[in-house]
Structure 1
Amino acid sequence: MKAITYKAFGGTDVLEITDEPQPVIQADQVLVHVKAVAINPLDWKIRKGEMKLMSGSRFPKHTGTDFAGIVVAIGSSVTSVKEGDAVFGTVKNNMKEGVLGEYVAVPSTLVWKKPVAINFVQAASIPTVGAAAVMALQKIGKTTTQSRVLVNGAAGGFGMFLLQLLKRNGANTTAVAATHALSTVKQWGANSVVDYTKENVLTKGITYDAVVDLSGKMGYKKAQQLMNVNSVFIDPIPNPVDILLTPIKNLFSSKKHVVLLSTPARETIDFLVKAINDGLDIEVSNVFPFAQSKEAYDYAEKGGYIGKVAIDVN
């Protein structure tokens, strides 16, 4: 089978198409003929070596975490899906595994039946950012119309899910995005917007009960000036040092720095599937063919797009 791999840390130039044996499944696994793979920032953070403390340095490595496709074989103990089912899913260890290839073998507990109303690229866009948005919602806690939440870098896939979920929970949300994305983030549920190309949210003199930094460019230190007492800073793009030291730092501040390390769980995905069936929107702004996977990552890493970017594998 064809797969995208790399033999050294680096930019998109290290990615290459290779031939590999089709995976052999274990009793608790399913073999999926991959139709689409969604791109996540973690993909290139790992590839660039930024997460090597967790990913290790053994090569070759695969890339891609979230996928959708058709089940072509099931292990002897699998009962949740059958051959021919359209599914979406994720890998068990996103630091050491990758799905960007023609076939993938994963535990049956990490695949879910695709909602009929969405296509494969939309389905592949759900697991990582969808689960992270649900976890962020839980970390923010109960919200009302008086709860002020700032979402910085709100126009991507994470923001797409989070803004819509916050709206359903009644929060008063401010979204920071570029000019071309302002109308979209409003549609997703933002009560107010800040165009970062024209104004700096740090200088507006407004404070919030929660700050979610999806761009990774604000950081906890700067965000503190926007935070009310006992507020939270949600950090979904932490570096390894933050992961290790943040729990200690939080002992000495009422303004909590919350590192978000989400793992899609069945109850989380079930919640998202229900929301999707109830009308939650999934926007995939650009889809690249498998042969242009390098170009897909070049495009995604530049940012500025709305929703998700995906690769059409088959």
Structure 2
Amino acid sequence: MRFRPLRSAPVTDSESVAVSEPPSEMRAIVFDGAGGPETLVEASVPVPSPVLSELLVRVVAAGVNPIDAKTRSGAGVSSQLPAHPSTLGFDFSGIVVRSPYEAHPLAPGTPVFGMAAFPRTGGSYAEYVVVPSLSVARKPASLSHVEAAGVPLAALTAWGLVVETARAHEGQRILIHAGSGGVGHFAVQFAAYFGAHVTATASARNAGWLRELGAAVVIDYTTTRFDEVVADVDVVIDLVGNVGGSTGTRSLRVLRPGGLYIVVPTGSWPDYAEVADEAGVRATSFKVVPDGGTLATIGRLLDSGAVQVYIDRVYDLPEAAAAHRHLEDGHTRGKVVLRVSDD
């Protein structure tokens, strides 16, 4: 018996687009060693080739995250970079160019968003990126590529913190530090969506906005010490870390006995677990899991309007250094995104 090979599965997404064979070279932002934003320069590099279950995606927009800036400066995941020059970036939104096999559900032409496997592979500050198919979901139809690129790492981090670790539920009291940032503004929304009473720390200019997102109380950290006005909370989500030996230490004081402290910035408080144990509370660190199934769930919440992403500023790809400077100023609301190519 002779078999006819399967043709590519039809793409049902109404936004699907035609794709063309990728070139051999692409534009990318590279850096050749630890340093400031000025180390980020545009270069021509080879287009990567997917293997096994990977996808090749044409990047339309790439999210910029604090971990990118930390890695560029010699911290973050810089110790795991295989070589220099290297291309940064986890978040992306774009169009599938190559799929693992003909009947794969994410066929060429499918708009997707997700996380690259950086630093194991090149990052998303480039015209093309190779990504694990399990770290990708269809782009929410209601979002532009620029908006979608601001979602994956921040929203998956927030979901892991609020839903999977804190297990947010009706009546639970959650304090979220840095509520107006990329992760923070998603964490506020997820916690409120699942019924928790949310208190967030932020600057005064973001107070009204965070209340619109679901925060019941917003504390201006520039004028008020949160530990003087908050007590007996069930969970503290610390997106600041124990800066100056203060935020984390004071956070333990506002938890109820047996409450949970979650610290996110890597290395910000090496002995947090021991100090928390002495204070009679639980504590854990957290690292994001780039799960495409969870990202698809978040995408449905975005399409329904229950959750929104806020884009603080958009830069063109060659302006990556300016994007990093803006991010490192520390006053961004929501996300910073690079526009890589035309939709």
Distance 1:105 1:277, change over 3 A: same
Aligned to 1:60: 85
SS in 2 for 1:257: strand
Identity %: 26
In the alignment, the residues of structure 2 paired with residue 237 and residue 119 of structure 1 have an alpha-carbon distance, to the nearest angstrom, of 29
CA contact (8 A) 1:33 1:103 kept: yes
1:128 maps onto 2:156 in alignment:
no
User: In 2, are the aligned partners of 1:23 and 1:103 still within 8 Å (CA)?
Assistant: yes
Query: Aligned ranges for residues 1-314 of structure 1 at < 5 Å?
Result: 1-51=26-76, 54-56=79-81, 58-76=83-101, 79-94=104-119, 97-137=122-162, 138-145=164-171, 147-204=172-229, 206-216=231-241, 217=243, 219-239=247-267, 242=270, 254-279=280-305, 280-314=307-341
What letter is aligned with 1:134?
Answer: W
Would you say the 8 A contact 1:27–1:77 is kept in 2? no
Decide whether the 8 Å contact of 1:53 with 1:240 is kept in 2.
no
In structure 1, the gaps of 5 or more residues are none
Give CA-to-partner distance per residue, 1:251-286, whole Å, 9 cap, x none. 666312211111121331122122112211111121
Deviations 1:5-45 (A, max 9, x none): 11111111111111101112223222111110111111111
Give the superposition deviation at 1:240.
8.2
2:16 matched to which residue of 1? Answer: none
- What is the CA-CA distance between 1:167 and the residue it aligns to? 0.9
Cα pair 2:117 2:123 within 8 Å, conserved: no
- The answer as to whether partners of 2:90 and 2:117 remain within 8 angstroms in 1 is no
Q: SS where residue 136 of structure 1 aligns?
A: helix
Unaligned 5+ runs, structure 2: 1-25
Q: Distance in 2 between matches of 1:176 and 1:294?
A: 28
Distance 1:240 1:302, change over 3 A: closer
Structure with bigger helix share is 1
CA contact (8 A) 2:122 2:130 kept: no
Cα distance between partner residues in 2 of 1:76 and 1:248: 49
TM-aligned CA distance change 1:15 to 1:75, over 3 Å: same
Worse-matched range after superposition: 248-257 or 37-46: 248-257
Q: How does the TM-score come out when normalised to structure 2?
A: 0.84
- 8 Å CA contact 2:89–2:118 kept in 1: the answer is no
Preserved CA contact (<8 Å) 2:252 2:279: no
SS of 1:209's equivalent in the other structure is: strand
What is the number of residues matched between the two proteins?
311
| Bigger Rg over Cα | 2
Contact 1:46 1:95 (C-alpha < 8 Å) held by counterparts: no
8 Å contact kept, 1:80–1:108: no
Q: Distance in 2 between matches of 1:114 and 1:52?
A: 27
Match for 2:309: what amino acid? Answer: I
After the TM superposition, which segments of 4 or more aligned residues of structure 1 sit over 6 Å from their partners?
247-251
